[in-house]
Amino acid sequence: MASENIGSVYPTKIPGLEDPADIQAALRLYHYGTTNTISTEEDLIADSVAGHIKALDTRIDAIELDGIGSEISDTMPTGVDNGFIWVNSTGSAQSLSVPIWKLKGSGSLSGESLSVSSLNGEKLFIILKDWSHDNSGSVDFSLRFNADSGPNYVNTGGLVSASHLSSPEFPASGTYDMTVTVDLANTESSLKPVSTIADIATGSYFGYYKNTNPITSVQISLPAGTAFDSGSYEVWSYE
């Protein structure tokens, strides 16, 4: 039986169109590329359906032999090895630290002062809520960091060095809320901005702490002889 290629892409054989039809011979010719009986893979003809299947099977066997898992080597590779990505088995992933607000202290207000330590945040946020004092007159707070009583504070408006930052004045017989925000707290910046906001007419004060040391603690004090009557506090650190 005469034969001819069918197409040029992955070609295989078909009977010559002039030959009489023999369906069994035609199927063998199309599948094996020959009308002869094929009994082993070594007898396969490359340009046949069976030959193309064998070529694909050979490539799959090679991929499976390489494997898709991992390999342990005592030496670092000097180049690409079969597409593997090499990692150090004793190494560790880089730890990504994303700052979050952490509550560093909270509780009821009492006595003349409040102190919170173990701070390490880029920002500090202090909340005094629903508090009152026992003084018969108006009082303000003194605000210090790291228990520093040196001339390292500037109250905006006065623009002179002071031993503490001042808050607005709070009259007697009142209940108040107040927040204190400190930027650049745990940095070595020589000026750390501080803002105080309270729910009274003169409720906004601004100043600076002049020190390159990171802030690790905060102290809020009422005048001597004055104490908190009520209220609560929270100290948050962005770290």
Phi, psi for 167 (deg, rounded to 5): -100, 175
Name the nearest CA neighbour of 132 among 219, 218, 198, 194. 198
Chain centre distance of CA 239: 13
Helix (H, G, I), strand (E, B) or coil at 5: strand
Helix (H, G, I), strand (E, B) or coil at 66: helix
Sheet strands side by side (includes 142-145): 113-116, 218-221, 142-145, 165-166
pLDDT tens readout for residues 164-183: 998 888 999 889 999 999 99
Say yes or no to pLDDT of 71 above 70: no
pLDDT of residue 203: 72
Which position has the higher pLDDT, 70 or 141? 141
In the chain, what are the domain boundaries? 3-66, 101-238
What token pair was written down for 202?
A: 């003169």
What token pair was written down for 235?
A: 């100290």
Residue type, 235: V
Helix (H, G, I), strand (E, B) or coil at 199: coil
The whole-angstrom separation of Cα 179 and Cα 233 is 10
The whole-angstrom separation of Cα 37 and Cα 50 is 13
Q: What is the mean pLDDT of residues 43-47?
A: 87
HSE (side-chain half, CA atoms, 13 Å) at 6 = 13
pTM, whole model, 2 decimals?
A: 0.59
The whole-angstrom separation of Cα 52 and Cα 64 is 19
Strand extents, DSSP E, 87-122:
101-108, 113-116
What token pair was written down for 18?
A: 């002039």
The answer to which of 3-7, 126-130, 135-139, 228-232 has the lowest mean pLDDT is 3-7
Second-level CATH architecture of 101-238: Sandwich (2.60)
Quote the percentage of the chain above a pLDDT of 70. 86
Q: What is the mean pLDDT of residues 14-41?
A: 80
C-alpha R_g of the chain = 42
